[in-house]
């Protein structure tokens, strides 16, 4: 199934001459093609059949033990000038990068099949969607791209009609960590990845295209490509408000995307609809609102910790037609990871399970599954025009200082909240406690250009006639003096979303603080929660002195982006700092006279 588009044919020929495959296969995305790939991988051992009675259509893939995660230090943004890539990216000059990686690609597909994968990020008929073609020598990548994107003949037809596409070239190579690079060329709309078979390094439609390249496209075309979930909250009156939310890793992103309302809310008629769990593309509509699509068609989710207690919807999603990567296996050949009942007999590397070897499932083990299998999946995910966004939420893991929920006073303040967001490390993660890592908009590893320009692009949406979503910041992870979480989290996070919707509709007054608006007394519904007034007060407390230190640190962080940082963010940081200083002075005066 060669292409009618000369540019695509020419590129495929060039790659074939460089990599010298034994065969070339143009992927059509059909069921027959997928089943043939599965059978091929079962024969080669690239896939292992799981228990077809309990998990029909499910298979296990074990990757090389040195190839289990993203490799940020080997991931480059290759713009003509280093300044355009920014301090938030590793940079390499395009000519040097092409030379370095093309030398690795030279002859790398000898004896292998070269797969040509036309794909569409987003609904196939959506004006917000963008297309790409990935060339790979990995049938595992083909199978995953079929689930994660709209892949095959329909995508190729759109590419041939439009004439343009993002080029992605991938080879597993020798899976040698010393011969591994992930190169992005935003000005060329191209990606080259060598030496890894791991998801984000090999499924080039995912982080490489949908964030690093798309963020560059979005800036030039007037939209936003963001590391955000999209969830719909339907109230008892039948109104649905769509929320886009950005969190760094380990902050409950997938759980929020598939949230199960507390029992009382379910009885009242509240419903939650999943549009996407990872990536969000937004652009202004004719009415001035932001409309969003999920460019992905599937979930590439972290398995460990996914359980009936934490995320029953995700667990239900993966009961059939799922590819599991680097999980453990039980005696009756079911997939297993920490958080599930039962006992593993074989670990993620295929060895008899021994706790001395570490976790049974790799901590970054994954499942790849169609989004349509999620019990809360919304058909609106296929809407060509996207869904209107009522609120944008930023959040991080902060054991102190940051309130449970905070509303920005306007768009610029919201951009500042997003730019300043971050998470504090735990002893389990790094051996150091309380080290704050800024991760602006949760895009630090994924923004394909200078963060200063990125913040300016966010600011550019604040124009006359725009009806922009309200911006909030949340922190589910605040702890009390006993070291325990103050907020129950999980399904009860809907209580916070309910307050946000009340603010959007004008049904809640809120309470002004120097750092933003928090819920006024009795505005946050706590019925059915074992949460006293003192604990709620602690969750919403604003420590003026602590925040003065935080604002100074935010100022230093913003300063690191130099002249490209929009002046409006400096001004906003100074405004908040000044409000805090005044509040702190007033508090001291009250204390002195009482």
Active site residues: 251
Is 195 within any annotated ligand binding site? no
The pLDDT of residue 588: 80
The pLDDT of residue 427: 46
Cα distance between residue 94 and residue 400, in whole Å: 43
Query: 298-373 domain in CATH 2.170.8.10?
Result: yes
Is 250 within any annotated ligand binding site? yes
542-574 burial code (b ≥16 CB/10 A, e <16): bbbeebbebbeebbebbeebeebbbebbeebbe
Is 70 within any annotated ligand binding site? yes
Cα distance between residue 67 and residue 57, in whole Å: 25
The pLDDT of residue 311: 95
* Fold of the CATH domain 6-47+72-222: Phosphoenolpyruvate Carboxykinase; domain 1 (3.40.449)
CA dihedral 145, 147, 150, 154 (to 10 degrees): 90
Domains in the chain: boundaries: 6-47+72-222, 226-296+380-581, 298-373
Is 99 within any annotated ligand binding site? no
Is 492 within any annotated ligand binding site? yes
Q: Name the CATH code of domain 226-296+380-581 (choices 3.40.50.280, 3.90.228.20, 3.40.50.300, 3.90.1150.10).
A: 3.90.228.20
Cα distance between residue 322 and residue 309, in whole Å: 21
The pLDDT of residue 1: 56
Please give the model's pTM, rounded to 2 decimal places. 0.97
The pLDDT of residue 429: 44
Per-residue pLDDT of the chain (594 residues; tens, 9 = 90+): 578 899 999 999 999 999 999 999 999 999 999 999 999 999 999 999 999 999 999 999 999 999 999 999 999 999 999 999 999 999 999 999 999 999 999 999 999 999 999 999 999 999 999 999 999 999 999 999 999 999 999 999 999 999 999 999 999 999 999 999 999 999 999 999 999 999 999 999 999 999 999 999 999 999 999 999 999 999 999 999 999 999 998 788 999 999 999 999 999 999 999 999 999 999 999 999 999 999 999 999 999 999 999 999 999 999 999 999 999 999 999 999 999 999 999 999 999 999 999 999 999 999 999 999 999 999 999 999 999 999 999 999 999 999 999 999 999 999 999 999 999 865 444 456 678 999 999 999 999 999 999 999 999 999 999 999 999 999 999 999 999 999 999 999 999 999 999 999 999 999 999 999 999 999 999 999 999 999 999 999 999 999 999 999 999 999 999 999 999 999 999 999 999 999 988 878 887 887
Is 397 within any annotated ligand binding site? yes
Q: Please report, for residues 30, 415, 517, 555, 586, the alpha-carbon distance to residue 574 in angstroms, rounded to integers and kept in the order given.
A: 57, 14, 18, 8, 18
Instruction: Report DSSP letters for 232-280, one per residue.
Output: EEE-TTS-EEEEEEE--TTS-HHHHHT----HHHHHHT-EEEEEESS-E
> Which helix (H) or strand (E) is 169 found in, with range?
strand 166-171
Is 347 within any annotated ligand binding site? no
The single residue listed with the structure tokens 């003192």 is 534
Q: Which residues contact 452 (CB under 8 A, 6 or more apart)?
A: 86, 561, 562, 563, 564, 565, 566
Is 32 within any annotated ligand binding site? no
Task: Kindly state the tokens that stand for 400.
Answer: 């102190």
The pLDDT of residue 428: 43
The pLDDT of residue 433: 61
182-214 burial code (b ≥16 CB/10 A, e <16): bbbbbeebbbbbbbbbbbbbbbbbbbbbbbbbb
Cα distance between residue 4 and residue 29, in whole Å: 18
């Amino acid at each position: 199934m060669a292409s009618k588009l000369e540019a695509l044919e020419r590129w495929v020929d060039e790659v074939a001459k460089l990599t010298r495959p034994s065969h070339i296969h143009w992927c059509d995305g059909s069921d027959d093609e997928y089943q043939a790939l599965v059978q091929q991988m079962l024969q080669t051992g690239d896939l292992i059949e799981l228990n077809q009675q309990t998990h029909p259509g499910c298979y296990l893939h074990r990757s090389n033990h040195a190839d289990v995660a993203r490799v940020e230090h080997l991931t480059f943004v290759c713009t003509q000038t280093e300044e355009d890539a920014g301090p938030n990216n590793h940079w390499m000059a395009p000519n040097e990068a092409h030379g370095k990686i093309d030398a690795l690609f030279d002859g790398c597909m000898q004896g292998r099949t070269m797969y040509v994968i036309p794909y569409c990020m987003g609904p196939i008929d959506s004006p917000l969607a963008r297309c790409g073609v990935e060339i790979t020598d990995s049938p595992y990548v083909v199978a995953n791209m079929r689930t994660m994107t709209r892949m095959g003949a329909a995508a190729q037809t759109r590419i041939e009609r439009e004439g343009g596409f993002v080029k992605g070239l991938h080879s597993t190579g020798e899976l040698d960590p010393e011969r591994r690079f992930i190169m992005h060329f935003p000005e060329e709309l191209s990606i080259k990845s060598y030496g890894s078979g791991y998801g984000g390094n090999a499924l080039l439609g995912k982080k490489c295209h949908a964030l690093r390249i798309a963020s560059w496209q979005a800036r030039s075309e007037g939209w936003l490509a963001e590391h955000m979930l999209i969830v719909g909250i339907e109230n008892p009156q039948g109104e649905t408000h769509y929320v886009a939310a950005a969190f760094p890793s380990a902050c409950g992103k997938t759980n929020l995307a598939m949230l199960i309302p507390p029992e009382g809310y379910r009885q009242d008629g509240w419903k939650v609809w999943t549009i996407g769990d990872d990536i969000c593309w937004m652009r202004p509509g004719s009415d001035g609102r932001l409309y969003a699509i999920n460019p992905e068609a599937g979930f590439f989710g972290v398995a460990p910790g996914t359980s009936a207690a934490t995320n029953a919807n995700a667990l239900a999603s993966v009961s059939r037609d799922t590819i599991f990567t680097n999980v453990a296996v039980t005696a009756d050949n079911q997939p297993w990871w920490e958080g599930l009942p039962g006992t593993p007999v074989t670990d993620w590397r295929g060895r008899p399970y021994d706790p001395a070897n570490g976790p049974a499932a790799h901590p970054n083990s994954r499942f790849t599954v169609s989004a349509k299998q999620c019990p809360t999946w919304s058909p609106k995910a296929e809407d060509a025009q996207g869904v209107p966004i009522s609120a944008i939420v930023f959040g991080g893991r902060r054991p102190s200082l940051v309130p449970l929920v905070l509303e920005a006073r306007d768009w610029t303040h919201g951009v500042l909240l997003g730019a300043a967001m971050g998470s504090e490390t735990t002893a389990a993660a790094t051996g150091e406690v309380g080290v704050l890592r800024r991760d602006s908009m949760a895009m630090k590893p994924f923004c394909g250009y200078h963060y200063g320009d990125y913040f300016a692009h966010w600011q550019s949406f604040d124009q006359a006639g725009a009806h922009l979503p309200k911006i909030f910041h949340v922190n589910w992870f605040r702890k009390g003096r006993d070291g325990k979480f103050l907020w129950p989290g999980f399904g009860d996070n809907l209580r916070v979303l309910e307050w946000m919707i009340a603010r959007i509709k004008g049904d809640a007054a809120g309470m002004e603080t120097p750092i933003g608006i928090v819920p006024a007394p009795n505005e946050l519904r706590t019925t059915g929660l074992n949460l006293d007034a003192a604990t709620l007060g602690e969750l919403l407390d604003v420590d003026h002195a602590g925040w003065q230190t935080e604002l100074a640190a935010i100022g230093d962080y913003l300063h690191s982006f130099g002249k490209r940082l929009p002046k409006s963010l400096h001004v906003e940081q100074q405004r908040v700092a000044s409000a805090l200083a005044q509040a702190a002075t007033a508090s001291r005066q009250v204390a002195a006279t009482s």
